[in-house]
Amino acid sequence: MLKFTFWLTTVVAGISTLILADAARAEGSLVIVGGGLKADNAAIYRAFLEARPEGSSTIVIIPAASGEPSASANAVRDAMIRHGASPSEIEVAQIAMRDDPGTRTTDESRWSRNVNEADELGRIGRAGAIWFTGGDQSRITGLLLTESGEDTPYLSALRARHSAGAVIGGTSAGAAIMSGAMITGGDSLGALLPGKVGEELSLARGLHFLRGALVDQHFGERARLGRLAVALMRLQQISPLGYGIDEDTALVVEPGQNEARTVGRGYVTLLDARRAKVSGGERLGIEGLVVGMAANGDTIDLQTGSVDPAWYRRDTKGREYFHSAAPAAGGMALPGLTLQATIGDGLLDNSAADHIVRYSFANDLGFAYRFAQDGGSHGSWGRDPDGQAAFTISGVRFDIQPVNIKIGPLEE
């Protein structure tokens, strides 16, 4: 606990300094992708390329997170050309930690020395768009932060370009680094039951391009709601809002960081811990979280955490599709285990439900995820112009309650 408190104090001090320094800047956009970005996702690539400031078309790809830096950078380069970038506009930063086994004549691990080189600083100085590839987020921060957690000259150059209007984007590891604090590992059961099961939650300092919030990626695909909830409670005084971004999906943050929109095939899950509190005694419980979900085309107020649905989604209230409450249950025999189906179909689009419970457990230790709606809860549903159906969800109460589970054969 002492070690964590020291780290947290350091992060608070560092982030506070950055907030004061950035307060009046007219910065560029952020395009934060939850991983699994497909090469044919035109909407996300367009959002990134079109956010370049006028007169600054150069794109710099930073493959620092990847275990195959050259291959990773080339894949991104090809995708950007496919979606309208000129080959002459794209440069690959020689910033990496690992040697790419696919290149015989280049040892990319030597690129770790380049964070202070004039050529690389000059490359960033020309950039109108900067992209971080996926991989291991700790490799990025290991290169761009000093041992004491301060900015290297390279990171200072990145901040200067962003402040001048350059867009910064990234996927997977390139998304995790965006917030001031950064999740480096863990799963939901490991976070809720530390030392009992799974992988425990671990946190480190991020690069703090996105202020006052915490980013998590591969979110729906890896069931990371519990992990994000625990992380927010640890960071409640500095990062009480969390954004869990699904794969092939982007949170596009507008300059000024007051508003964002969701682009792509999945959801951005908003988790608000500003009024939450820890409960549960010996085992962790959390009460008073608020959850929302933004789908393609939805707009997010980054200050309040509310979601404004796209024009093609209609309010579910008064026109609910379902009329019988779902059982409080869990497991593979139950349909609709995804978060959007649980809250959307099971709660907001169900006239018979004011709450819904889902269970997760390991051996005899478990948790109840309880979602409840009240007057501040809103749900909308509809299909976008491409025919993709999705919910917009806002203001749903979310509690995590520890429970004991007993499973055994029927007694004769």
Residues 6+ positions from 403 with CB-CB distance below 8 Å: 359, 361, 366, 367, 368
CATH number at residue 87: 3.40.50.880
**Same-domain check for residues 256 and 172:** yes
For residue 25 the two structure tokens come to 């800047």
**Same-domain check for residues 269 and 317:** no
pLDDT at residue 213, rounded to an integer: 96
pLDDT at residue 13, rounded to an integer: 46
Residue 303 resides in a domain = no
Q: Is residue 10 scored above 60 in pLDDT?
A: no
Q: Is residue 19 scored above 90 in pLDDT?
A: no
Q: What is the rounded CA–CA span in Å between residue 170 and residue 118?
A: 24
3-state secondary structure of 310: coil
Question: What does the pLDDT look like over 318-334, one tens digit per residue?
Answer: 999 999 998 888 888 88
Confidence label for 412 from pLDDT (cuts 50, 70 and 90): low
Residues 6+ positions from 29 with CB-CB distance below 8 Å: 51, 167, 168, 252, 253, 254, 255
Question: What does the pLDDT look like over 240-251, one tens digit per residue?
Answer: 999 999 999 999
**Same-domain check for residues 231 and 318:** no
* Pairing of β 181-185 and β 90-92: unpaired
Q: What is the rounded CA–CA span in Å between residue 256 and residue 253?
A: 8
**Same-domain check for residues 364 and 266:** no
Domain count across the chain: 2
Count other C-beta atoms under 10 Å from residue 13's C-beta: 11
Residue 304 resides in a domain = no
pLDDT at residue 333, rounded to an integer: 85
Q: Which of 131-140, 274-283, 386-395 has the lowest mean pLDDT?
A: 274-283
**Same-domain check for residues 222 and 331:** no
Helices (H), 299-373: 339-340
List C-alpha distances in Å: 122 to 61, 77, 115, 152: 14, 20, 11, 14
3-state SS string over 173-190? Answer: HHHHCCECEEEEECCHHH
Q: What is the rounded CA–CA span in Å between residue 190 and residue 335?
A: 24
pLDDT at residue 337, rounded to an integer: 82
Residue 360 resides in a domain = yes
Helices (H), 36-171: 42-49, 69-82, 118-125, 137-144, 153-163
Q: Is residue 26 scored above 80 in pLDDT?
A: no
> What dihedral angle (degrees, nearest 10) is formed by the CA atoms of 153, 158, 162, 164?
50
List C-alpha distances in Å: 252 to 173, 219, 249, 255, 394: 16, 16, 10, 10, 18
**Same-domain check for residues 242 and 340:** no
Q: What share of the chain is helix, strand, coil (3-state, %, to 5)?
A: 25, 30, 45
- What percentage of the chain reaches a pLDDT higher than 70? 93
Give me the domain span that covers residue 369. 312-404
**Same-domain check for residues 264 and 325:** no
pLDDT at residue 331, rounded to an integer: 83
Q: What is the rounded CA–CA span in Å between residue 168 and residue 179?
A: 12
Please give the average per-residue pLDDT across 15-30, as a whole number.
58
List C-alpha distances in Å: 390 to 70, 266, 267, 350, 393: 37, 9, 9, 15, 10
**Same-domain check for residues 259 and 372:** no
**Same-domain check for residues 157 and 246:** yes
Please give the average per-residue pLDDT across 215-227, as a whole number.
97
For residue 280 the two structure tokens come to 């549960």
Please give the average per-residue pLDDT across 98-113, as a whole number.
85
- What percentage of the chain reaches a pLDDT higher than 90? 78
**Same-domain check for residues 267 and 388:** no
Residue 285 resides in a domain = no
Q: Is residue 2 scored above 70 in pLDDT?
A: no
**Of 123, 121, 166, whose CA–CA distance to 144 is shortest?**
121
**Same-domain check for residues 67 and 148:** yes
Q: Is residue 20 scored above 60 in pLDDT?
A: no
Question: What does the pLDDT look like over 345-398, one tens digit per residue?
Answer: 999 999 999 999 999 988 889 999 999 999 999 999 999 999 999 999 999 999
3-state secondary structure of 3: helix
Q: Is residue 293 scored above 50 in pLDDT?
A: yes
pLDDT at residue 246, rounded to an integer: 98
